[in-house]
Each structure stands twice: as structure tokens, then as C-alpha cells.
Structure 1
């Protein structure tokens, strides 16, 4: 399957090219990605990771293994959460993924903590990594600022090891993620390479990064200089996939704009208005050049945007509500968790033997 013609870019660090070219082991193509259980996803999550996955799911060959993990262990890397909140967030995220089009019959959708083998491999990978290299990663530097010196959770530092174990436990070959994960993918490739070299094996493939070129970057409705997020800006800064029609209209009408007259697309001088047009383009799948907005007022733009978002989210809301009233999500997590464990058990037995644990 040639994914390039579908708007994807496959990349891999050149530092591993010699290892890859000399490899005699064939690893079947396996797609793997993870998503944190933050509860109900917003449009930034939808267009940034969920929709690209569903499009990929419906594009690649049917026999290709696809795995999507709700990474609840990553959710506590900054410190513990109330148990009821974590359970609820995981259930809501799983239901949201299915409502958005993730097909559990096509994608092995499972909860990370149901596969304890991942944590064991994370520990093994830790023997191949240094604290100084982990501490240089930009995301660690950014998030450590939230804590007093000396009070930084160990999980924040070792997060990339668990992330690498997520992928390598299943010997995944391809990881669909955004550009912001490139450094973590390089670290992941480095760990796979280091393990293979240290133990004179080819047990792990060197995973490739798959990025959708047309990735929509969704910005905050209240501050277009920032990305849409749950961690800042308040509820009116984002639209969640289960928001009611009334809530969508309210958030769109109160979104930041200006009083500069009819709508124009000018990111330098009219960033807020351009941000709303970008969101309209993402929702409708219409390029900016094809949107007939020259006679729109900013209120027209906001109302048209609200209508387009509501039309997009209505079937998702209805499917989510249906899932919440049934026991389907729990059944899927149970069955797929067992299936993921079977794969992990087979792979970890081989890894443990290579390391010397068996």
C-alpha cells in the first residue's frame, strides 16, 4: 500500500540505515499508536490523531495488524489521579474512539494497563538508556517546570521508556504520530537499535514514523496563538466531540475574532479570524481557496462554523450516548486486552530469553 499518495510521509532517522539495510529478519507491518485517556476528546484531538487513525484504518490492507492503546499508565506520569476519575476517563476515551470511527474488529483497541508485559519491557529498556539523555528531551524540560526542584515524579523522566515499550512489546514497525513526537521516535529507534546490538539479535524492527502531511493544527477558540487544549484556556477555548448543538453555537459565537469588516484570510493581521476559517476548512474538508467567505461577516463565519461542527459531531454524539448506555465498551476492553496479552506474552518470552531472564 503506497501511503504517500494518500498524503502521508514515512520517516526514519538515517543513523539506523546501516542496521536496517544489513538486517536479514523480516518483520511484518504492524501499526501502533497510543492515546492518553483524558476523558472526552476535543476537536484538536479528533483532527490531530483520531481522524488520521480512522482514515489509515480504512486505507491499509485488511491483513495488516493495527493496534491502538488507551495508555492509562502514561496518564499518571505526572502523579496519581483519583481512581474513579482515571477509570471514567479511560472508559470515555474508549467510547469516544469507537464513536469517531475506530473499528474494534479492524483495530485492536485495548487498555495499556491490561498488558503488564509493557511495564517489564520498559524496565529492560531502562538499562540501555541514561538519565541525562532523558532529561534533555524538550517535553521533560517543559513539564518539569510545574514541580519544585527535587519533587519531579520519576514517571515524567521515564515516560519515553514506557512509550518505547508500548511499541516494541508488539514489534510494531510503523508509528502514526505528529511531528512533535519526532524526538521520541528517534529515542525509540535508538533503543531498538541498542537492544539488538547489545544482545546480537534482530528481535526488534526499527520503527518508522508516519505523519499525515495535511495534518490540521487546531487552535484555541479564545487564544489562536495556542493550540486547543484541556490544560489551558477554559471550557470555551475548545469544542469537545460530545458537545451539544447549543454548546457548540455558544462557544463559536464567543470565539475570539475582530471588528475589521468582512472576513479575510490573513494570518499575519487577522489571526483570530483566520483560525476560525482554518477550523471550518478542517471540519468541511474544503480548502481555504474554495470557501466562499468574501461576503461573510465575522458573525456569519461563526454561525456557519457552528453549523458545520454540529453536523460533523451529531452522529458521533449519538453513537457515544449509545455506547454509554450499553456494556459494549467494557466487553471490547476485556476481549481486546486478552488478545493484546497473547501477542505480548509470546514476544516477551522471546525477549526475556535473549536478556537472560529465562
Structure 2
């Protein structure tokens, strides 16, 4: 490999939002210049919680939206390989082999699995969701990813990948790198309703593609200090989503600290604090919107990037699978049977 490899990506369930940005995309933008970067459109992972025909029919459109968002955030298409997970069936072969290198109790200890099931409204955990980290290991190791930028929720998943890589190497020889986790500086962004992390399905997200009016509307409806009924009542800054967003997205630190001091003293209303947040967010999003418009204007470009990236990635995964089967002895097992069958065929065909 000419350069260390990075594997990252998202499930194609819709447009990306500010939570995705702080959780992983900001790191991707910085890191993709240093690494050979693979961006997975993880539609097989999507099936663990969204698997109706209607969900699947939306994959191609959502894939385009997702890739466009990532490019708009600042990823250079010349330095990134985007690929559709379901178009590479060899990853499923690796997933099958890796399933034998991890136990059910180990997977049940991954904290985010139960959270994902709950968020999807599932009373019981599907087999595929329990095995989510194993398929993720197949994704990462199939391209021999060495760096995985992750948010807080996925850190435990990638730790399973590291364990599987070490276990495989111990049993069958050094084939895989043990990937390094790179966590974001802001691992979780609370939703606009103050109820858990930002999530499209909860309707508490600000999309990277939202226009200025939509951003302002969502900000003005944000949850603040519930005990503050008037502007002259001292308010709480800590745990207040509006100030959490100011801390992340408002580069004017003097303004933020002044607003916090006035809020604590009961000398500023929620409306002013939110108005200034809306301005800061729209300034942050303006360059992203401009880049998105340029990519959207080039019809078919994103589709071409996905197709070319998928073909390139499948070739890489095929090479990895050959190496894995050879290391495990699976190739030689079938070769021995085939040679014996060939000798038998010749013996039957040749009269004594």
C-alpha cells in the first residue's frame, strides 16, 4: 500500500447533520489528506434497523445525498474512494469467517447495540444488529484500514474490529493491521430538543444542507433552561443545548463568554442568544452550502464517483479475501479435494 488507509462512512438513511459533522466528518476532512481514504455507504448496516422495501428503494437517492454532503463538508473527491457496501458481496464472505472469532457475550457487551435497537423501536435485538460490529470489522479489514475516525457511539464497535484482527493474526498469521481509533473532539452533539443526541428520526437535527431560514427556525425552537420563564431570571448555561452549540460553532469566543455571563445574571433573553446562534450556524454552513451547490450542478458526478469507487474497492476486497482464505487453509482444502476428484475422473475415463 502506498499510504496508510482510512475507512469511514455512514448508513444511507438521509442527509447528514451537524451531529455527524462534529462526530466524524470534521475528522475525515482533516485526515483524508494524510491517508488513502475509503468512504463506505453502509447500506447493509442500514438493514439492521431499516429493511422495508421502501427503505431499500431510497438507498440510491440517499447515497447520492450522503456523498454530496461529505464532499460539501470539504472532502476532496480526488483523494477519496466512495463505495456502496452491498455491491461488494465478498465483504459478506469475510463477515462469515469473522463471526467465528468473537462470542455472543462479547457482542452483547457493546453498549450501543441496545441503544440502536431502542432507537429503531425494536423490542428484541435482531441477529444482524447483534453482529453489526462483526460486519463493521469486515468492512474495515477488507481494505486493511489502519485508521478509523469515530464518534463516541462507534468506538466500542471498532474495538471489536481490533480484537478480531488480533485474533485472526494469532491463529493464521499476520494478515491484518490492527486499526487505530481516532476520536472526535466533540464526540456527541445533543439534539435541538435537548433529548439525547442529534438524530434524524427524532426530528431534532439541523442538516448540513438546511437553508438559512430552516436553520433559524430550528434554532428559535431549541430547548433551553426549562426553569427560566423570563429574561430577567438567572439561567443555567451548563447542559443548555443553545450554549453547547455556541461552544462548538461560534468562533467569536468573546461574544459567547459575554452571552454566558449575561445569561447567568438574568440580563439577556433566550431570543437574543438564539438569534446570535442562528447567525453563527449559518456562517458556518455557508461554505458547505456553496460547495454542495457546485457538486449538485454537475449532474451525474456523484454517481460516477460511487461507481468508480465501488469497482476499485471490490478489486481490493477480492485480493484481501484470497489472502485470508489462503492464510486459513481454505484454499488448499478445496484444492486437495479437486485434485483427488480429477484423478478419479481420469481413472474412470481411462480403461484398465
State the TM-score, normalized to the length of structure 2: 0.81
Decide which structure has greater helix share: 2
Contact 1:265 1:277 in 2 (8 A): no
Contact 1:174 1:210 in 2 (8 A): yes
Contact 2:23 2:152 in 1 (8 A): no
What are the superposed Cα offsets for residues 246-271 of structure 1, whole Å, 9 maximum, x if unpaired? 11111111212343536978445xx3
Query: 3-state DSSP class of the match of 2:83?
Result: strand
Cα pair distance change 1:75/1:129, threshold 3 Å: same
Residue in 1 aligned with 2:107? 134
Among 73, 88, 91, the residue aligned to 2:64: 91
Hey, what's the Cα distance between the residues in 1 that align with 2:166 and 2:65?
A: 36
Higher alpha-carbon Rg: 2
Residue in 2 aligned with 1:15? none
Q: How does 1:199-278 map to 2 (within 5 A)?
A: 199=172, 201-212=173-184, 214-215=185-186, 217-222=188-193, 224-232=194-202, 234=203, 237-257=204-224, 258-261=228-231, 266-268=236-238, 271-272=239-240, 275-278=241-244
Q: How does 1:1-358 map to 2 (within 5 A)?
A: 29-58=4-33, 60=34, 64-81=35-52, 82=54, 83-145=56-118, 146-149=121-124, 152-199=125-172, 201-212=173-184, 214-215=185-186, 217-222=188-193, 224-232=194-202, 234=203, 237-257=204-224, 258-261=228-231, 266-268=236-238, 271-272=239-240, 275-287=241-253, 291-293=257-259, 294=261, 296-325=268-297, 326-358=299-331
Deviation at 1:110, TM superposition (A): 2.1
What are the superposed Cα offsets for residues 305-332 of structure 1, whole Å, 9 maximum, x if unpaired? 1112122223323433443341111010
Cα pair distance change 1:90/1:174, threshold 3 Å: same
State the TM-score, normalized to the length of structure 1: 0.80
Hey, what's the Cα distance between the residues in 1 that align with 2:187 and 2:151?
A: 10
Cα pair distance change 1:134/1:289, threshold 3 Å: same
Contact 2:90 2:321 in 1 (8 A): yes
Cα pair distance change 1:238/1:154, threshold 3 Å: same
Cα pair distance change 1:290/1:311, threshold 3 Å: closer
Query: 3-state DSSP class of the match of 1:256?
Result: coil
Cα pair distance change 1:217/1:142, threshold 3 Å: closer
- Give the count of matched residue pairs: 317
Cα pair distance change 1:254/1:179, threshold 3 Å: closer
Over the aligned positions, Cα root-mean-square deviation in angstroms equals 2.5
Q: Structure 1: where are the runs of 5+ without partners?
A: 1-25
Q: Structure 2: where are the runs of 5+ without partners?
A: 263-267, 332-352
